[in-house]
C-alpha cells in the first residue's frame, strides 16, 4: 500500500517518462537481455518483439505502396502522429535512448549479475538434493 506522498511521486514519475515508451521494470518476467517496453496507450512487449513488429509492418506498408496505395499509407500510417505504427516507432526510439543512459546500463548489469547468482544457487541446491537422494547408506 502506498502512502499519499509515494502515490503522488509515482504518478509524477510516470507522467514525466521519456515519451511514448519506457522500460517496464515491474514485469514479472523481466529479462535484462531483452527488456520489456511499456508503450503508452498500447501495452507491453519485449524490445526484440517490438523491433520485429515494426519491421513486419514496414514490409506490409512497402507492399501497399507498391500496389498503388501510397495515399492510404501516407495518410493513415506515416503522417498520422497518433497511429499505432508511429507510436511503436517512437516508443522504440525512446527506449533505445533510455537504454543508452549509464544509470540504466548499471541497473541492467546488476540485474544480470543477480540472475546469474540465483541461477547458480539453484543449480547448487538441486545438485545437493540429488547427491543426498542417491547417496548409499
pTM assigned to the model: 0.66
Given pLDDT bands bounded at 50, 70 and 90, which one contains residue 48?
very high
Q: Are 30 and 112 within 8 A, CB to CB? A: no
* Phi, psi values for residue 19, rounded to 5°: 125, -125
Selection from 28, 27, 35 nearest residue 98 by Cα: 35
What nine digits make up the cell of 87?
507510436
DSSP assignment of 53-84 equals HHHHHHHHHHHHHHTT-HHHHIIIIIS-TTSH
Using the predicted structure, report yes or no on whether residue 63 has a pLDDT greater than 60: yes
So where are the chain's domains?
A: 4-100
Q: Tell me the per-residue pLDDT of 96-132, one tens digit each, with 9 for 90 and over.
A: 988 898 988 898 888 888 877 776 666 666 666 666 6
DSSP assignment of 3-51 equals -HHHHHHHHHHHHHSSSSEEE-TT-TT--TTS-EEEETTTEEEEHHHHH
Amino acid at each position: 500500500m502506498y502512502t499519499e506522498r509515494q502515490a503522488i511521486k509515482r504518478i509524477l514519475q510516470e507522467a514525466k517518462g521519456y515519451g511514448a515508451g519506457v522500460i517496464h521494470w515491474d514485469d514479472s518476467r523481466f529479462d535484462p537481455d531483452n527488456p520489456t517496453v511499456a508503450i503508452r496507450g498500447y501495452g507491453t512487449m519485449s524490445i526484440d518483439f517490438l523491433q520485429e513488429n515494426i519491421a513486419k509492418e514496414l514490409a506490409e506498408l512497402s507492399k501497399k505502396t507498391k500496389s498503388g496505395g501510397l495515399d492510404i499509407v501516407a495518410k493513415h500510417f506515416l503522417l498520422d502522429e497518433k497511429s499505432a505504427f508511429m507510436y511503436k516507432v517512437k516508443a522504440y526510439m525512446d527506449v533505445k535512448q533510455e537504454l543508452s543512459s549509464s544509470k540504466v546500463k548499471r541497473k541492467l548489469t546488476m540485474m544480470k549479475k543477480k540472475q546469474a547468482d540465483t541461477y547458480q544457487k539453484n543449480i547448487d541446491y538441486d545438485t545437493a538434493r540429488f547427491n543426498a537422494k542417491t547417496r548409499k547408506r
